[in-house]
Structure 1
Amino acid sequence: MSEATTTDLYEVTMALSYLREGMTGPATFSLFVRDLPPERGFLVAAGLDSALDYLSHLRVGPEDVEDFAAALHRPADELRPLRGLEFTGGIRAVPEGRIVLAGEPLLEVTAPLPEAQLVETYVLNRLSHQTLIASKAARCVLAADGRPVVDFSLRRTHGPQAGFQAARLGALVGFAGTSNVAAAAATGVAAVGTMAHSYVEAFPGEEEAFRAFARTHPGPLTLLVDTYDTEAGVRVAARVLRDLDRGPGSAVRLDSGDLAVRARALLDEAGLPDVRIIASGGLDEYAVDDLVRSRAPIDVFAVGTRVGVSADAPYLDSAYKMVEYDGRPVMKLSSAKVTAPGPKQVFRRPGCADVIALADERPPGDGTPLLETVMTGGRRTGERPTLDDGRARFAADLAGLPAAARRVRAPVAPRATVSGRLAALAADVRRRIDERMPAAGSRPSRAASAARGPLRPAAHRPVSR
């Protein structure tokens, strides 16, 4: 069994039917997010590299066909056309780390129709989850207003792989470290962590615990001070750090930001102004924003569960829709889910005044294309991008994002518009679809047709999603 079976069953049934019908012409599918989650002013494109790895190695083998056949309760011979299927197509995509908006393609697949169909589920999963988590993490960095943020999410993410992704994506958008040792080793970001309450409880008292920890770890220490009484814990930690002359670079960690003011006062009174305060425990961008606005003297924010699972918005309204088959542009017309036909390009303009256009259009004078060719003939077209590449792209795009979109609360997301050519194509395709529809009961009313929201040129309205 290979990753070819990591797919929804209907991808298999459609791919098999296409092969039997001889429908192997080139198809283009566009992957995009219809609407941003609540309280989001932007998204950060992520997950492309893992999707390209999957596509590069995809091959349906005999065991995969056996599994498909078992799932369909059919003899394996009937699914023989699937055997040996590989991905031989091309990919144009937004590079990881770039900011994207609702309706903009994150990725477009062009491949023989059965191949482009079979990969839908896996590619959607990779890009949707990682874009979601990167976007949540980016908001934490904005909320921290220049103070370091670190990742503590591994123990409660939805599986170890999701925890690894959360750590890597945090590093992509500016996190200073992670508690995940494997992710730290793989990405080169700092591994951070100290002790649990159980460690303190294992000793007769806090002082014994702190001194024992210091004997094992000779460098700067981070001491957990709220196992029993936080003020008392800070006093004990201050005494141990001062006695051992371990102040500079050391820290105390609180599971609540509420006592940070008192902790700072106690450390300063003890002559330890260089000892930092790390806050953890149920933090996300909203809690971090509150603490920063209240001027809480916190030096580092450790975010975990709520960020690693994007607790307030745990999914993206993402879609993977065919936009062209064998040279014929296609679109979906069902209410509230209209799609735009044809392969596309997104042109980034100052202030994220983006224009979604057809792929062969020339950019406006102040626009630069977002989608790049990253795969041709089933193989990558360039070197594997580094985490530093993604960081640089994110930093540059964030600097150009309107302030209203960067707000943690009540952000205002920029809205992409469509080019005149794309709007005209959509109108033409819709007209041809309507002409093919039955003249009687199944034809939608004018009101229903209007509710579908026809695409119009950039000067007139935002893109329909």
Structure 2
Amino acid sequence: MKELRNLSLVMDFYELTMSQCYFNQNKDQEVVFDLFYRNNPDNGGLCLFCGLEQVIEYVKNLHFEKEDIDYLRSLHQFSEEFLDYLSTVRFTGDIYAIPEGTPVFPHEPLVRVKAPIIEAQLVETALLLALNHQTLIATKARRIVQASEGRAVMEFGARRAHNFDAAIYGARAAYIAGCAGSATTYAGKEYGLPVLGTMAHSFIQSFDSEYDAFLFYAKTYPDQCTLLIDTYSTLKSGIKNAIRVAKDYLEPNGYRLKGVRIDSGDMAYLSKQVRKELDANGMQDCGIVVSNSLDEYVIESLIHQQGAKIDSFGVGENLICSKNSPVFGGVYKLVAIEKDGEMIPKIKISDNVEKVTNPGLKKVYRIYEKDTGMAQADLMALEHEVLDDQKDLTIYHPMSRWKYKVIEGGTYELRELLVPIFLRGKIVYQCPSLDGIREYSKRELDTIWEEIKRFAYPQEYYVDLTKDLLDLKLKLLNDHK
């Protein structure tokens, strides 16, 4: 957002206490952290990466004000030398990231940070905060847009969001994922996305009659008139008064009723009855909008099981809070540390296999089938490895040499997913426009097989390792036995 806030203290306190220790030991030691996640929300097949632009703004602005240093001094846990260091600290390292709007999958690095150890540690919470939130909302919005099967989805969630920023950034993420626009006016001002909305029940209640309310609104917005028809009775009064206003005022003056909205009741039944009324009055071009606690499952049911006659959907709390699965489990893990001029791979081991990390400085490739253009798998490789798509490629399960697949040379294409964002502290990435990100995301989603995008029991998309990376991982596991 344009009003610049210094968010540098938006961090877990242990980032500062660890940094004091690093300062005392070796503050210039280089490290590599990977930011990734372990499971898709809603038991889905993929996520939609989002929030990179806010990460960039944070890192560019990373610094501590005098009042920040004074506050930290008052805690009596930090040395004056360390506080002096913090007063001048700026990010000087490298950040690579997957572009916003890309479909992504568990365990692959979404962001890679290579920097002096204190700088890499200080940005942890902010990176997770920005990316966890917007990736979660974009992922949920994508599912809802998919369920609508080409019908417009409007993000109506501001009043249910978790505070101001969640509403604004959530609207941004939802638009990237394919929503037609947002009811959050600030998001329209800030990001240029379409703002949408008509009236509330209170507007209609404020008039002596429903007809009077509709007529006044129609006279005020004759070329953008959508009427809320369920304040009293959708079928007995709402649709009848809407049609009456269309015939009494809009059509005689050269306008058409754009739409009617239903916000309660049996939406499948009501939409079918309303459609009959509209069509019988020559209003086939009048759309039907529904809202009220919708999500991808309700929308899918309305369309496929109940034959609802709905042209667009307004979705609020279930989208803006990702209500069914409200936490995105992004994590930030050390994978390498510099020693005597060499990057030493590091691994985190756990009794839970899914929590074992993939060590070392890595690249991530997406493998596309040449004949279809569809994504076949993602592949993690060590930074020094050179892959040739004219040669056979063997990709391995992340924990086992016996489970592998050989892809014939010349039948596939490789694209490296991580692109440079910061190099030696300087921004080298040009953020696309919001519409550019949205269009890119749609193109990338079209390369993912429908079996992976389905809601129930999606096909697993493979994120595999090269033999060199798998060998390194198994060696480190064995070394730590």
Residues 291, 314 of structure 2: 8 Å contact kept: yes
1:385 to 417, 432, 435: 432
What's the CA shift string for 1:230-273, capped at 9, x where partnerless? 10201110110122235636100001423111111111112211
Q: Aligned to 2:347, which of 321, 324, 331? A: 331
Q: Structure 2 matches for 1:318-397, cutoff 5 A?
A: 318-326=330-338, 327-336=343-352, 337-350=355-368, 351-363=375-387, 365=389, 366-397=413-444
Counterpart amino acid of 2:450? A
Cα pair 1:373 1:381 within 8 Å, conserved: yes
Q: Corresponding residue for 1:3?
A: 7
Secondary structure of the equivalent of 1:190?
coil
Is the 2:6–2:61 Cα contact (8 Å) retained in structure 1?
no
Are the equivalent residues in 2 in contact too, given 1:178–1:189 (CA < 8 A)? yes
Measured in 1, the distance between the counterparts of 2:463 and 2:207 equals: 59
Q: Secondary structure at the match of 1:135?
A: helix
Following TM superposition, by how much is the alpha carbon of 1:75 offset from its aligned partner in structure 2, in angstroms? 7.0
CA contact 1:28–1:324 (8 Å) conserved in 2: yes
Q: Is the 8 A contact 1:45 1:95 kept in 2?
A: yes
TM score, norm. by length of structure 2: 0.87
Which residue is equivalent to 2:471?
424
The residue matched to 2:88 in structure 1 has which SS? coil
Q: Say which is worse superposed, 290-299 or 320-329, in terms of deviation.
A: 290-299
Which position in structure 2 is the counterpart of 1:252? Answer: 260
**Structure 2 segments unaligned to the other structure (5+ residues):** 369-374, 390-412
Alignment counterpart, residue 452 of structure 2, candidates 405, 415, 427: 405
Q: CA deviation at 1:76?
A: 5.5
Which shifted more, 341-350 or 182-191? Answer: 182-191
The question of 1:28 aligning with 2:40 is answered no
- Once residues 67 and 405 of structure 1 are traced to their aligned partners in structure 2, the CA distance between those partners, rounded to angstroms, is 49
1:317 is matched with which residue? 329
Could you list the per-position Cα deviations for residues 324-370 of structure 1 after superposition, in whole angstroms to 9, with x for gaps in the alignment? 11111101012222111112111111334111222332245122111
Matches within 5 A, 1:96-111: 96-111=100-115
Report the secondary structure of 2:250's partner residue. coil
Quick one: distance in 2 between partners of 1:378 and 1:135?
30
- Per-residue CA distance 1:35-86 (angstroms, 9 max, x = gap): 1123311101111110011111101233222222334556766643433111
Q: Residue 116 of structure 1 corresponds to which residue in structure 2?
A: 120
AA matched with 2:435: D
Q: Residue type matched to 1:290 in 2?
A: S
The 3 A distance-change label for structure 1 pair 364 and 201 is farther
Maintained 8 Å contact 2:93/2:423: yes
Identity level (%): 35
* 8 Å contact kept, 1:16–1:82: no
C-alpha change, 1:359 and 1:412, in structure 2 (3 Å) is same
SS in 2 for 1:3: coil
Residue ranges of structure 1 left out of the alignment (5+ in a row): 435-465
Moved more, 134-143 or 399-408: 399-408
Counterpart residue type for residue 334 of structure 2: M
Q: Secondary structure at the match of 1:390?
A: helix
Q: Distance in 1 between matches of 2:152 and 2:419?
A: 32
Q: Does residue 93 in structure 1 map to residue 97 in structure 2?
A: yes
Deviations 1:368-389 (A, max 9, x none): 1111011112221032221122
Give the superposed CA RMSD. Answer: 1.8
Q: Is residue 52 of structure 2 the alignment partner of residue 48 of structure 1?
A: yes
Cα distance in 1 between the residues matched to 2:433 and 2:332? 26
2:319 matched to 1:295? no
> Which segment drifts farther, 12-21 or 383-392?
383-392
Q: CA deviation at 1:180?
A: 1.1
> Out of 294, 312, 318, which is 1:306 matched to?
318
Superposition TM-score, scaled by structure 1 size:
0.89
Partner Cα distance (2:69, 2:301) in 1: 54
Answering whether residue 287 of structure 2 is matched by residue 240 of structure 1, we say no
Q: In the alignment, which residue of structure 2 is the partner of 1:206?
A: 210
Q: What's the CA shift for 1:417?
A: 1.0
For residues 480 and 170 of structure 2, what CA distance do their matches in structure 1 show?
43
Deviates more, 1:58-67 or 1:8-17: 58-67
Q: Is the 8 A contact 1:31 1:106 kept in 2?
A: yes
Taking the aligned partners of 1:71 and 1:262, their CA distance within structure 2 comes to 66
CA distance in 2, matches of 1:38, 1:251: 32
